[in-house]
Structure formats: structure tokens, C-alpha cells
A and B are shown apart, each in its own frame.
Chain A
């Protein structure tokens, strides 16, 4: 009897996270390979909402999709003028910042998710950074984290695409996310949130594997695991090219 109650409780717990609405999603590719001529990639994320009962009519359904690249610590440096020239004077280390972060929504971000749920799931860029970085002196480091976001947004690594998710008949949705050419290797986490009344009602997660392949991978791995061999290889190529050039053009002159 007690076991039955426990089992029921376990089944019932996820109920608040959308027992009536669930996400079924798909990706255009779950494996992205960086080759020598890799020039970015367009990722299509699509899916459907599955329901046991007709959708509630008192609230509208919204979708938030995030794609997050692997995180690394980053030094954010600020320049100031010293003796007439601009020099890096202050540094704040953000302990963990995602190398890529894109958010796509059906409507403007603030209108479809509450602050509490934004914090709970760390959806916005700022949340993602703040939840992970140690905010020692918060006001001081705030300028640095906003600078980090601003720079990465300009470089195309962070993107907030309001109203770029298309939702049809409250059931089918799709969006395109542009992945830049300077992509970092690793596991990219995709999250799809369904919200109603600014509350998250369902969540689906998927992973995309991004890795260098072929020559790119081989060179990168060699430079990290066998730096001595890599250095020797670099020299051998240079020596050969230098010799071949002089020999080749001497042959041409004859």
C-alpha cells in the first residue's frame, strides 16, 4: 500500500510540468561537423505539442527555444587611458560563459516568461552568466557581464530572436537558428520551453554534437596532445616549401 502511494507520488510529481501538454521536437541535424571550408550552419528546430485534452482557452501558448554552446571561463578586460594610450587596466573573470547562446521566441521575451521561471531555468543570457559566475562585487562586475554579452552579440555568438518561432494552430512550431562560422567544438544543448501565463508548462531537451573533422580535427588534436611533433611538422613543411620554391624556380629559369 505504502509502495503504491510512493509510486503514485513519483508519477504525480512531474505532473505540474505539463501532464496535459508535452513537446515532441526534432532537429535538422544533431551532428555538426566543422570542416576546412565550414562557413556556419542553419539549424532548423521544429516540433509539435501533444495533448491528452483540448487546449485551455483562458491562456495563450508560447514557445521559447534556446541553443547553448559549451561554457568556458572568460577574462573580460576594460581599457582606460594611461599616458595617452589605451591600456587594459581592469579584469573581471567570468567563471563560465557559454561560447554560443541563441534564444528564439514566439513573442517578446518579457511578455511570455515570468522572472521566477526565467531564474529557475536560467533562460536569458544574463541569467546564464550570473547563475554560473561568482558575482563578487555585483555592481562592479555588472558592467563587465553586459559588455561580454554586447561583444558576443555583435560577433553573432549570442542572439535574441524575438518572435522568430512560428507557431501554427497552437500545435506545430519551427524556427531557424544561425550558427556562426567560428563555432567552438562541444555539445550544444537545445531546450524547448512551452509557457502559459508566463509559467513554464513543458520542457524538452536535446543535444547537438559539434566537432572538427578531418584535417581540422587532426591538426587541432596533434597540436594539443603532441605539441613537439606538431612543431616539428610545422618546421618540416616550412623547410620543404622554402627548398621547393628555390629549386622549382631555378628549374623554371633554365
Chain B
């Protein structure tokens, strides 16, 4: 069944979009990632213009993060104070990101920039995940050794200290602000929640306890992607509600299937699969940039990307 998307102005198979949402939902249920980093490139492949894909991807992340954070709030595994600091920095970062996005849109380099960012981040994250999961698979076979959290002493010497009770931390607010800002820029430019960057940053850079990391990151992602969606709607008019609804519906159902699957399957092996999938998408995007394109010319409407 073809469906005409009013903002993207393309006609796409509705089941395909529903399926894409579902796949991403399964991934997020299985691995606890928002899935924005995988849905935006997939939307490029089915022919949705990059500007619409990025803005609508952010909207989809809002829905999946809200669904996730509610469970964490019940378990009291959200450091709201830390979340608020990250959120304020994130919104500032998102504003800068939107500005950058519009600047690049006008000069015709936005597609390149978004693709390059994806190749870079998907490549790095995919490689890291693959390495980590292979290592933990080996570790599981041998004896289980506890991993020490690295202590960054310079982090503790920075000024402007603040108490974060839920995390049991007394640290400077500068590192959270830097992390939040960076993730905000990514959210605006790439249409991602940034959880895949923020979670490792919270654990290794801020030394937050692992149990509050995912809830807190989801908490902040809701606000940053929500703000990003709103700003894209306001300045670029590039949020496609119909597209978002299809993705969200698929995603919501997929997430529950994924969560159920996660209980039955071995996490390490799945993580390797996810890492390979991420690297595959990255490879496809990289090839598009490196191989001589069949068509050297491209068309873009004046004044809209």
C-alpha cells in the first residue's frame, strides 16, 4: 500500500515504513538504544529527503524515549538533577546544531555533512561495539573478572562543583555541560538521540553508576529531541507527522517484541549482530561517498535544502 507523505512529498510503501519502525523498535528493545542513528540512514535509502529524515527521526526518538523513561522513573533510576543539567546544555547544543544545519542546507553541503557524520559515528560506534562484545564473549568463556571503572582525576579538579544525590557524585558541572552540548548538536544535525554517545560518556567520563545511566540519558534525550523536532518544524517545516506516526507505531510494537526477545537470547551474540548491522549501514554510506556516482548531478528545490 503506497502512502503519500505530505511534507516529504514522496509516495512510499506504508508497510515498508511500518517495518522499518518495527526493526528499529526491536533493536531498541533488545539493546536499549534509541534507534535514531539507524532509522535516519534507512530513510535516506527509501528516498525520503535528508532534511525530512533528520527532523522526523528526532520526532520518532521522542516517542521511544518517553516509552523507555517511564519504566525507569518507576524504578527510580533517573538522576533528574543530572538530567536537567544535561538537558539545558543539550538544548543550547541543539540550537547551535539547527543553526549549523540551516547554514549547510543553504550552501548545498548538508547531505554530505550528514552522511559524513554518519559514516564517522556509525563506524566508530560499530567498531567499539564489535570489539567490546567479542571481548566480553571471550571473558564469559573464561573466569569472570570485575571491570574497574577508570578514574579521571582531572575531572575532579574542575571548578563549579555540584552534588548529584541519585548518582552519589560531587563533581564539577563542566563535563556534563560539554557532553550535553555535544549530544544536542548531534541530535539536530543527525536526527539521533545521542544515547550511543552519551551512555559511554556518562560511565567513563562522569563516573555515573551504570544503573542510573540509561534512565538519565533517556530523560535528557526526550527534551533535546523534542526541542529539535520543534525547531525543525519551525524553521525548516521538515517534520512529516504521517511518516513519524508510521515509524512510531512500528517502533512501539517492535520495542516490546525486542524486550521479550532480549530475555531469551544471549546478549553478547546479539550485540555482535547489532555491531555488524551498524557497520553494514556505515559501509553502504561510505561507498556512496567513495564510488563514482552514476549520476553526477543532483536537484534541490531553491530555498528548501
Are A and B associated in one complex? yes
Q: Chain A residues in contact with chain B, CB under 8 A? A: 34-40, 72-81, 84-88, 91, 93, 144, 147-148, 150-152, 181-182, 184, 212, 215-217, 219-220, 223-224, 227-228, 230-235, 237-239, 241-247, 249
Q: What's the minimum C-beta distance from A229 to chain B, rounded to whole angstroms? A: 9
A228 near B3 (CB under 8 angstroms)?
Answer: no
Q: What's the minimum C-beta distance from A225 to chain B, rounded to whole angstroms? A: 10
CA gap between A245 and B298 in the complex, in Å? 40
State whether the Cβ of B7 lies closer than 8 Å to any Cβ in chain A.
yes
Residues of chain B in range 244-258 having any CB-CB distance to chain A below 8 Å: 244-245, 248-249, 252, 255-256
State whether the Cβ of B42 lies closer than 8 Å to any Cβ in chain A.
no
B248 near A212 (CB under 8 angstroms)?
Answer: no
A181 near B248 (CB under 8 angstroms)?
Answer: no
Q: What's the minimum C-beta distance from B62 to chain A, rounded to whole angstroms? A: 4
A180's closest neighbor in chain B, by CB?
B11
Residues of chain B in range 265-305 having any CB-CB distance to chain A below 8 Å: 289-293, 295-303
Count B-side interface residues using an 8 Å CB cutoff: 58
Stretch at the interface among B81-89, B140-148, B231-239: B231-239
CA gap between A231 and B249 in the complex, in Å? 19
CA gap between A223 and B52 in the complex, in Å? 13
B70's closest neighbor in chain A, by CB?
A246
Q: Which of A72, A217, A230, A244 has the largest number of chain B CB atoms within 10 A? A: A230
Q: What's the minimum C-beta distance from A164 to chain B, rounded to whole angstroms? A: 24
State whether the Cβ of B203 lies closer than 8 Å to any Cβ in chain A.
no
CA gap between A79 and B293 in the complex, in Å? 9
| Given A220-B6, A246-B70: A228 and B59 interface contact (C-beta under 8 Å) | no
Q: Which of A34, A36, A147, A223 contacts B237 (CB 8 A)?
A: A223
Q: Which of A40, A77, A237, A249 contacts B241 (CB 8 A)?
A: A237
Which A residues lie within 8 Å of B242 (CB)?
Answer: 36, 215-216, 219
| Given A182-B9, A216-B6: A245 and B109 interface contact (C-beta under 8 Å) | no
Q: 30 A–B contact pairs at CB < 8 A?
A: A36-B4, A36-B242, A37-B3, A73-B302, A75-B301, A76-B297, A85-B289, A85-B290, A88-B111, A88-B112, A148-B297, A150-B295, A215-B6, A216-B4, A219-B6, A219-B7, A227-B235, A230-B233, A233-B241, A234-B239, A234-B244, A235-B229, A237-B248, A238-B229, A239-B62, A241-B67, A241-B252, A244-B252, A245-B256, A246-B66
Which B residues lie within 8 Å of A182 (CB)?
Answer: 4, 9-11
A38 near B11 (CB under 8 angstroms)?
Answer: yes
Residues of chain B in range 171-202 having any CB-CB distance to chain A below 8 Å: none
Residues of chain B in range 102-150 having any CB-CB distance to chain A below 8 Å: 108-109, 111-112, 116
CA gap between A238 and B2 in the complex, in Å? 23
CA gap between A177 and B235 in the complex, in Å? 37
Q: Chain B residues in contact with chain A, CB under 8 A? A: 1-4, 6-7, 9-11, 59-60, 62-68, 70-71, 108-109, 111-112, 116, 226, 229-235, 237, 239, 241-242, 244-245, 248-249, 252, 255-256, 289-293, 295-303
B234 near A231 (CB under 8 angstroms)?
Answer: yes
| Given A36-B242, A73-B302, A147-B297: A235 and B62 interface contact (C-beta under 8 Å) | yes
Q: Which of A79, A212, A223 contacts B298 (CB 8 A)?
A: A79
A242 near B66 (CB under 8 angstroms)?
Answer: yes
B297 near A245 (CB under 8 angstroms)?
Answer: no
B59 near A86 (CB under 8 angstroms)?
Answer: no
B302's closest neighbor in chain A, by CB?
A73
Q: What's the minimum C-beta distance from B58 to chain A, rounded to whole angstroms? A: 9
Q: What's the minimum C-beta distance from A119 to chain B, rounded to whole angstroms? A: 25
Which A residues lie within 8 Å of B300 (CB)?
Answer: 74-75, 77
B234 near A77 (CB under 8 angstroms)?
Answer: no
A91 near B108 (CB under 8 angstroms)?
Answer: yes
B239 near A230 (CB under 8 angstroms)?
Answer: yes
| Given A88-B112, A237-B241: A223 and B233 interface contact (C-beta under 8 Å) | yes
Q: What's the minimum C-beta distance from A111 to chain B, rounded to whole angstroms? A: 30
* Besides the known contacts A228-B233, A231-B233, A249-B256, 5 further A-B residue pairs in the complex with CB atoms under 8 A apart: A85-B289, A151-B295, A215-B6, A224-B237, A242-B248
CA gap between A224 and B237 in the complex, in Å? 7
A76 near B299 (CB under 8 angstroms)?
Answer: yes
Which A residues lie within 8 Å of B252 (CB)?
Answer: 241-242, 244-245
CA gap between A36 and B108 in the complex, in Å? 30
CA gap between A85 and B113 in the complex, in Å? 12
